[in-house]
Amino acid sequence: MGALSYHNLDRTDSFRKLKALRPRPRLRDLLEPERVRSCSIPAGGGLVYNYAAKSVNGDIVGLLQELAFEQELVDKYRALVNGAVMNTGEQRMVLHHLCRGQLGREILAGGKDLRRFYVEQQERISAFAEKVHAGEVRGSTGKPFMYVVQVGIGGSDLGPRALYLALERFAREEHDGPRMEARFISNVDPDEPNDVLNRLDLEATLFVLVSKSGTTQETLTNAAFVREKMADSGAGGLDPGKHMVAVTGEDSPLAREEGFLDVFFIDNFIGGRYSSSSAVGGTLLTLSFGRGVFENFLEGAHEADRLGLEPDLTRNAALMDALIGIYERNVLGYPVTAVLPYSQALNRFPAHLQQLDMESNGKRVNRFGEPVSYATGPVVYGEPGTNGQHSFYQLLHQGTDTIPLQFIGFKRPQHRFDVEFSGSSSQMKLNANLAAQIVAFAKGKADENPNRHFPGERPSSLIRGERLTPKSLGALLAHFENKVMFQGFAWNINSFDQEGVQLGKSLTRQALEARDMDPALRKYAELLGVR
């Protein structure tokens, strides 16, 4: 393999051919049972990605494969796992895959083997969690810890929260409940920490303070909030230092601070939104569920990561998902994607994907800093089915825009108890609804009453599994991370920085310090009672 080359999407032949291709296939003609069987790609952890209900035929898939080669998507992924500086804006390697396993060559930084570093941190976390679970580490009044509260925002919140919620029921069914129940404090709105802290037995609560830089305004403020509440509570108060660990970078101010039971480390090669499989997610999930559950989760993610290295599009689920997304965004012109898990346990998973996708690929310049002349990352949103059916599906079926859909479903629920009602179990009803929606969106239905006419031709994919377990959850997470990465490569953008958050930060500082203020900002700050 020679050096990689980087071109904008619209400079590739395959993209031009895709745009010109006529006639475009109709979903109602495509969607035959044989296709439902054959358009399936293993996605790791027992998951299967199915694209039968996407508006792509053999010609289009062929051109998408050409596009994958032209943009060297898999080669770039291979380079990434081998330590190429893929975060070009910040001049950093991108190593979240390495938290899950060694996919490429050994990666050294400052003489340190980074795979070993990530494993070591996870070992330290597991050892600490075991002491907490055994009651060897206790709160300042001697009570064993029963609750763990993640204090973090963005990537330090959304991913770990979504994953915790995804596994909490599983743990209740399989392990008699989580070892420790988790709560989350993220927003700088004082109503959030007040509410969470008022409802907990603080004597039995361990806090995990997470900020890579050690400078995140919201998180430091909430840490101060927690400390003040601890000091205020009960007779003489609690010693916050006996109730808090930190997760941060080795060179951050937090790493040098006193007042933690322990500190676990991450580094600059793990972006916030990609940090669920690092100490950022690992600390919370290991404390909540124990070492084994988190290891299974990493294993599932690693399995998906390995599958992503397959050059053949029809055997690489993340790559196929990514390229169909490019086709929908840049050829068909669809601005939004909805993620619709038919599993209540995944109720906050769409909120995590929203960050993952929109923060990674919501960019208007390419990796060289030149404005691109095509659309990049779409808006991503979603809610669990069947709930969404009774909410926004009306627009999905009969609105004026087409929104591509990403369904997720499992044969079995996490709990074993189910009820038979009018001839079927709840789980069967859930999945009958899911199957029905895919077909309804694809094929529509003619009706003389125009109000009841369904145009169809609304494409969807399905990721399905046997059951939502730690392993399948790991694969699910990695699938989307890799999909987003491939799309970023195809668009020739840097998916690994987030400069778009900086301006708001600096204007906030101005408003708080009441200096150098834009006059309109001053007025808004006044109206909102700032100063």
Q: Residues 455 to 474: which contact a second copy by CB under 8 A?
A: 455, 462, 464
Angle, CA 442 vertex, CA 441 and CA 446 arms, to 5°: 80
Taking CB under 8 A as the rule, does residue 449 contact a second copy?
A: yes
Taking CB under 8 A as the rule, does residue 369 contact a second copy?
A: yes
Taking CB under 8 A as the rule, does residue 400 contact a second copy?
A: yes
In the annotation, is 303 catalytic? no
Q: Which run of H or of E encompasses 291? A: helix 291-307
Of the residues 281, 444, 459, 488, which one makes contact with a second copy according to CB under 8 A: 444
Residue 213, judged by CB atoms within 10 A of its CB (0-12, 13-18, 19+), counts as: middle
* Contacts of a second copy in 146-165 (CB under 8 A): 153-155, 157-158
In the annotation, is 359 catalytic? yes
Task: Name the residue nearer to a second copy (CB basis): 135 or 500.
Answer: 500
Give the phi and the psi of residue 43 in degrees, each rounded to 5.
-120, 10
Of the residues 377, 404, 474, 488, which one makes contact with a second copy according to CB under 8 A: 377
- Name the one range near a second copy by CB under 8 A: 119-127, 244-252, 283-291, 389-397: 389-397
406/418 Cα distance (integer angstroms): 26
Task: Name the residue nearer to a second copy (CB basis): 315 or 411.
Answer: 411
Kindly state the smallest distance separating residue 136's Cβ from a second copy, in Å.
Answer: 28
CA torsion 103-104-109-111 (nearest 10°) is 110
> With contact defined as beta carbons under 8 Å apart, do 98 and 89 qualify?
no
Kindly state the smallest distance separating residue 101's Cβ from a second copy, in Å.
Answer: 27
Of the residues 113, 130, 228, 295, which one makes contact with a second copy according to CB under 8 A: 228
* Contacts of a second copy in 90-149 (CB under 8 A): none
- Name the one range near a second copy by CB under 8 A: 65-73, 298-306, 319-327, 453-461: 453-461
Could you say which of 505, 513, 523, 526 is catalytic?
A: 505
Q: Name, in order, each residue with C-beta under 8 angstroms of 373's C-beta and a sequence gap of 6 or more.
A: 8, 10
Task: Name the residue nearer to a second copy (CB basis): 181 or 310.
Answer: 181
Q: How many residues lie near a second copy (CB under 8 A)?
A: 155
* Orientation of helix 470-491 relative to helix 73-81, angle to 10°: 120
User: Long-range CB contacts (< 8 A, 24+ apart) of 355-359?
Assistant: 355/154, 355/155, 355/158, 355/159, 355/273, 356/159, 356/273, 356/274, 356/480, 356/481, 356/484, 357/480, 357/484, 359/273, 359/498, 359/500
Of the residues 324, 442, 463, 478, which one makes contact with a second copy according to CB under 8 A: 442
Residue type, 131: K
Kindly state the smallest distance separating residue 276's Cβ from a second copy, in Å.
Answer: 14
* Contacts of a second copy in 2-41 (CB under 8 A): 31-33, 35-37
Of the residues 224, 234, 251, 256, which one makes contact with a second copy according to CB under 8 A: 224
Task: Name the residue nearer to a second copy (CB basis): 222 or 296.
Answer: 222
Task: Name the residue nearer to a second copy (CB basis): 384 or 474.
Answer: 384
Task: Name the residue nearer to a second copy (CB basis): 282 or 413.
Answer: 413
Taking CB under 8 A as the rule, does residue 191 contact a second copy?
A: yes
Kindly state the smallest distance separating residue 197's Cβ from a second copy, in Å.
Answer: 9
Kindly state the smallest distance separating residue 116's Cβ from a second copy, in Å.
Answer: 30
User: How far apart are the two ends of the chain, measured CA to CA in Å?
Assistant: 60
Going from the C-alpha of 170 to that of each of 175, 414, 466, the distances in angstroms are: 8, 5, 13
Tell me the three state secondary structure of residue 21. coil
Q: Name, in order, each residue with C-beta under 8 angstroms of 192's C-beta and a sequence gap of 6 or more.
A: 185, 186, 222
Q: Which run of H or of E encompasses 297? A: helix 291-307
Taking CB under 8 A as the rule, does residue 499 contact a second copy?
A: yes
In the annotation, is 131 catalytic? no
Taking CB under 8 A as the rule, does residue 497 contact a second copy?
A: yes
What are the start-end ranges of the E strands in 76-135? 108-109, 112-113
> Which residues are marked as active site?
359, 390, 505
